[in-house]
Amino acid sequence: MNQPQDLYTGDILIVDDDPAAQNLLTAILTRAGNTVRTASDAVEALEACIEELPETILLDLQMPGINGLDLCPIIRDKFGDIPIIMVTGANDQRTSSKIMSNGANRHLIKPLNSSEVLTEVKGALQVRHLQLQLEAQKDRQKHVQQKLDAVNDRVLQMDVSNGEVARREFLTEMAGLYEENDLPDPIELLG
């Protein structure tokens, strides 16, 4: 994955079997500073995600073979929280509900409007970049905690060692006192 220059640009995968739609979205997104890759079907989309996970996916609803509704949960299952924006010509509540229930974050209605595309993609990229920053911060915190735990274990080992040394010194000192005063050996008394 490319390191984002800012929160609003990134690596986008467009999944659409229509070359005209691919070209339109590619033009809109590359002018805004994004890196764009395309796939024409579900197999190409999954291969592209395996090769390099994009930061956002624009996924056409109607495609031959595995359509966008069926592909969306597959992507979710294999690649987690990557933002998916479904693109569809249907503008009804039933389609919208299906899109959201199958795992898409948002959807765009055709014909596509450049400003709407950019607004949705920028929002998705911002969320994704913040997710990645949070994951990196959690990894750093985990690493720091592991270091602190290792230091703490070492300190405890030193305390045990020092405690053992102190115990031996005390018993040696006591043994000397007992010997001087002709008393039984304290080590034998402690068993």
Strand partners, 107: 86
Q: Name the more confident of 147 and 32.
A: 32
Residue 146: per-residue pLDDT: 74
Q: H-helix or E-strand containing 14?
A: strand 11-15
**160 with 95, same domain?**
no
* Residue that is written with structure tokens 């765009």 in the block: 108
- Is residue 75 one of the residues assigned to a domain? yes
Distance (Å, whole) CA 99 – CA 84? 10
Is 148 among the domain residues?
yes
| The pLDDT of residue 173 | 62
Residues of the domain holding 151:
142-187
Token pair 């959690």 in the structure block, residue: 138
Q: Assign 89 a pLDDT band (cuts: 50, 70, 90).
A: confident
Number of domains, the chain:
2
Query: Where is average pLDDT lowest: 4-13, 99-108, 129-138, 163-172?
Result: 163-172
CATH number at residue 111: 3.40.50.2300
Q: Considering just the CA atoms, what is the radius of gyration of the chain in Å? A: 32
Q: Mark whether 151 and 116 lie in a shared domain.
A: no
Distance from C-alpha of 67 to C-alpha of 89, rounded to nearest angstrom: 14
d(CA 56, CA 117): 12
Strand partners, 57: 13, 84
Mode of pairing for the β-strands spanning 11-15 and 106-109: unpaired
Q: Do both 94 and 179 map to the same domain?
A: no
Please tell me the pTM assigned to this model: 0.70
- pLDDT tens digit string along 119-165? 999 999 998 888 888 888 888 888 777 766 666 666 666 555 566 66
Examine the domain organization and report whether 76 and 161 are in the same domain.
no
* pLDDT band at residue 4 using 50, 70 and 90 as cut-offs: very low
Question: What is the rounded distance in angstroms from the CA atom of residue 78 to the CA atom of residue 156?
Answer: 43
Please tell me the predicted confidence (pLDDT) of residue 60: 95
